């Protein structure tokens, strides 16, 4: 079955829809003639996107801060009021961080958990009764960091691990209810998530430390996600690097820790010491 047939007239909610993967997913769903509810904090961006996507399908926007429970409850209620049902919930809204834990203001981890984890929990809680009625799909967008802790991303990894465990358990609880639960790990994707990543003091990073042009595009990630939703996949992990990391972690965990450290240390202005710095410190200590 083609996606354009499968998604036609389905009611789909996409959080974090104003940019990146969320924007690409909402756009593709509208082109497939789904009825799309787009949610994000930026009302101006939502309104503009709503006007653009309305050329393809019926689309409504609901300003939502997923870290606020009442906003999530309102998002679900507005969806049901308009369309009378929910077929797909895509929990995509999220933020990242970049700092060593020893330097980190704990408010940063609270913020990461509030948006990434609690945003998923709140939206899922209020949408669940309707999704059980339609035997619909719940998607949690995590990351390789939801399977393997990334240095300098303690709050991010913790929140993505939490989503992973939450949705894995939810799937088991409703194993015989026809509910589809998918955990989706795109890997590094070209988006603005690194620009808005929080630093040790809670301020936004502003500039990405990576070459975005070499990453998978948000449009490609969105298309693959919808393919997996149609197939009712349990999990999907993208990019060769991510898949290799998970295999190496199982087989050679200690070696993989070292490889991961040096890989992340290559970022410009990395919070980690470079190999040359460590070797210099060792030589000075031995002297």
Give residue-wise pLDDT tens across range 214-239.
Answer: 668 899 999 999 999 999 999 999 88
Q: Whole-angstrom Cα distance, residue 213 to residue 83?
A: 38
pLDDT surpasses 70 at 204: yes
Q: What is the DSSP letter of 50?
A: H
| Sheet of strand 11-15: strand arrangement | 59-63, 35-40, 11-15, 88-91, 137-141, 180-185, 235-237
Query: What residue ranges do the domains of the chain occupy?
Result: 3-242
- What CATH number matches the domain at 3-242, 1.10.10.60, 3.40.50.720, 1.10.760.10, 1.10.260.40? 3.40.50.720
Alpha helices, DSSP H, located in the chain: 3-6, 20-31, 43-53, 69-83, 106-112, 119-134, 154-173, 218-231, 240-251, 253-265, 275-286
Residue with tokens 């996606």: 3
User: What is the DSSP pairing of strand 35-40 with strand 11-15?
Assistant: parallel
Q: Whole-angstrom Cα distance, residue 93 to residue 90?
A: 9
pTM over 0.75: yes
Q: What is the pLDDT of residues 79-113, one digit of tens each?
A: 999 999 999 999 999 999 999 999 999 999 999 99
| Pairwise pLDDT comparison (72 vs 284), residue with the higher score | 72
Assess whether 156 carries a catalytic annotation.
Answer: yes
Backbone angles phi, psi at 252, to 5 degrees: -135, 70
Between the CA of residue 80 and those of 18, 61, 85, 126, 164, what are the distances in Å? 21, 13, 5, 11, 27
Task: Share the mean pLDDT of the chain.
Answer: 89
3-class DSSP state for residue 188?
A: coil
Q: What is the pLDDT of residues 41-57, one digit of tens each?
A: 999 999 999 999 999 99
Over its C-alpha atoms, the chain yields an Rg (Å, rounded) of: 20
The catalytic position among 32, 126, 156, 184 is 156
């Amino acid at each position: 079955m083609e996606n354009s047939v499968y998604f036609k007239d389905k009611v789909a909610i996409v959080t974090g829809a104003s940019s990146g993967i969320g924007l690409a997913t909402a756009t593709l769903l509208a082109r497939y003639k789904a009825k799309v509810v787009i949610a994000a904090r930026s009302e101006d961006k939502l309104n503009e996107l709503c006007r653009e996507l309305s050329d393809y399908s019926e689309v409504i926007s609901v300003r939502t801060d997923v870290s606020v429970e009442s906003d999530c409850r309102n998002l679900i209620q507005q969806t049901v009021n308009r369309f009378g049902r929910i077929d797909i919930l895509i929990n995509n809204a999220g933020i990242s961080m970049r700092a060593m834990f020893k330097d980190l203001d704990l408010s940063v981890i609270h913020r990461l958990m509030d948006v990434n984890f609690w945003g998923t929990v709140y939206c899922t809680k209020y949408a669940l009764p309707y999704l059980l009625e339609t035997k619909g799909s719940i998607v949690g967008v995590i990351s390789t960091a939801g399977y393997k802790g990334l240095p300098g991303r303690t709050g991010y990894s913790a929140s993505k691990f939490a989503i992973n465990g939450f949705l894995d358990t939810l799937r088991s609880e409703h194993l015989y209810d026809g509910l589809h639960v998918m955990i989706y790990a795109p890997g590094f994707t070209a988006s603005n998530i690194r620009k808005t990543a929080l630093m040790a003091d809670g301020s936004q990073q502003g500039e990405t430390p990576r070459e975005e042009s070499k990453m998978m595009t948000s449009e490609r990630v969105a298309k693959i996600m919808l393919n997996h939703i149609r197939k009712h996949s349990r999990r999907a992990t993208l990019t060769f690097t991510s898949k290799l990391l998970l295999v190496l972690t199982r087989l050679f965990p200690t070696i993989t820790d070292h490889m991961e450290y040096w890989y992340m240390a290559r970022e410009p202005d990395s919070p980690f010491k470079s190999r040359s710095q460590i070797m210099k410190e060792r030589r000075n200590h031995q002297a």
